Amino acid sequence: MSTHPDYLAHYRGLLVLVTGAEGFIGSTLVEELLAAGARVRALCHYKPYRERGFLAAYEHDDRVEFIAGDVRDANVVDNAVSGVDIVFHLAALIGIPYSYQAPDSYLQTNVIGTHNVLAACRRHSVRLVHTSTSEVYGTARVVPIPETHPLQPQSPYSASKIAADSIVMSYWHSFGTPVAICRPFNTYGPRQSARAVIPAILRQLHAGQREIRLGSLSPTRDFTFGTDTARGFLAIGASEEALGLALNLGTGNEISIGTLVDKLIRISGHDARVVLDDTRLRPAGSEVERLLADNTEVKRLTGWNPEISLNDGLARTWEWITTAPVHAGAPSYAR
C-alpha cells in the first residue's frame, strides 16, 4: 500500500483520457486508474486488426472506452478529449535508435501530436499531464539531476521531447492551460518491449544464450518499476502544486549497465558472459552517460515515493519473462 493514498482517491468517479493507453506504461496507468475508481477513455493507435495491446483483457469492460486513432489527427484527438476530466498524454515514438533513421516521424508524432492534445485541452478546459523523459537532460552535468538541469538534445528523440515540453509550457504561460509535465527516468517491468535493455537481456537469458550482446557498459541509469511510475503520474495529476511544473520521477539510485547485466544473470540463475557489440553503440556524442534523478520536488509536492526496490522489480520482471514467454511487446508508439 502507498504511504500517500490520498492522491489515488482523487480519481474516484472521474473520466480520464489516456493516450498511448495500450502500451507498457499506458496500460499500467489504466489499471491503476481503474483500481482507484476512475473510468478510462483509452486512445490507442489505430490498427485494422483491432489489437488492444496490453488492454485486451478490458475489451468488454464497461469502465473502459476504446478510441482507435492517431494523435497526429487533430479531429480524433479533439473528440477523445471532449467530456473528460483529465488527460494523461503518453502516446509517442520512443525508440532512440530509430530516431536516428526517421527523425521526421518523431517530430510529427511527438511534437505535432502533443500540440493537438494541448489545443484540445485548451478548447475543452481540461487538465493535461504530459509525458517527458529523462533523456531531455542528456549526459548529466550535475548529479542527482534536478528539474533545473540544462536540456541537451543528444538524439532526435530527445530533441522532439524537448520541443514538446516547451510547447506544453507555452500553453501554461500564454493561455493558462492547466498542465504538468511528468519526467520519468528509466521505467522497467513486466510488459516492457524487448527493445529496452532489461527485457532484452532477460529474453536472451531465458532463451539460453551464453553470450549477451550489448553496447556500452559504462552508462548509468535510474530504474523505476512500472507501477511506481504509474502512481507518480497519478500523484502529479492530483496535485495543484504541480501545475506549470516539470517533475522528475526516479528512485534517486543509479546502476551501470555492466553492473545491471551481472545482477540480471544472477537473478536468472543462468551462465552467460557479456560480449561487446559495436553495432549496438549509439553515435559518437549521442550516448547519455549518466542519469540519476533528484526526486525531491515530486516527493515534496505530491507525496509520491517509489516503493519497489530494484532487486524486487527485476525478480518480478524475470518471473513475467519466464511465465509468459510469448509477448507482442509494447508498440513503439506507446509507452
Q: Is 106 a catalytic residue?
A: no
- Confidence class for position 282, pLDDT limits 50, 70, 90: low
Of the candidates 157, 171, 188, 333, the residue annotated as catalytic is: 157
Q: Give the span between the Cα atoms of 232 and 246, in whole angstroms.
A: 12
Q: Would you call 209 exposed, middle or buried from its count of C-beta atoms within 10 A (0-12, 13-18, 19+)?
A: middle
Q: What is the structure's pLDDT at 327?
A: 44
How many Cα atoms sit within 13 Å of 160 on the Cβ side? 27
> Rounded to an integer, what distance in angstroms lies between the CA atom of residue 238 and that of residue 7?
6
Cβ neighbours for 207, distance < 8 A, ≥ 6 positions apart:
none
Are the CB atoms for 184 and 224 separated by under 8 Å?
Answer: yes
**Phi, psi (5° rounding) for residue 39?**
-105, 145
What the chain holds in terms of domains, given with CATH numbers, is: 11-187+225-250+292-307 (3.40.50.720)
pLDDT digits (tens, 9 = 90+) for 49-87: 666 778 989 999 999 999 999 999 999 999 999 999 999
**What are 82-115's pLDDT values in tens digits?**
999 999 999 999 988 899 999 999 999 999 999 9
Does residue 172 have a pLDDT over 80?
yes
Q: Would you give the distance in Å from CA 133 to the centre of its chain?
A: 7
Judged against a pLDDT cut of 60, whether residue 235 lies above it is answered with yes
3-state secondary structure (DSSP) of residue 128? strand
Q: What's the whole-number average pLDDT of the chain? A: 91
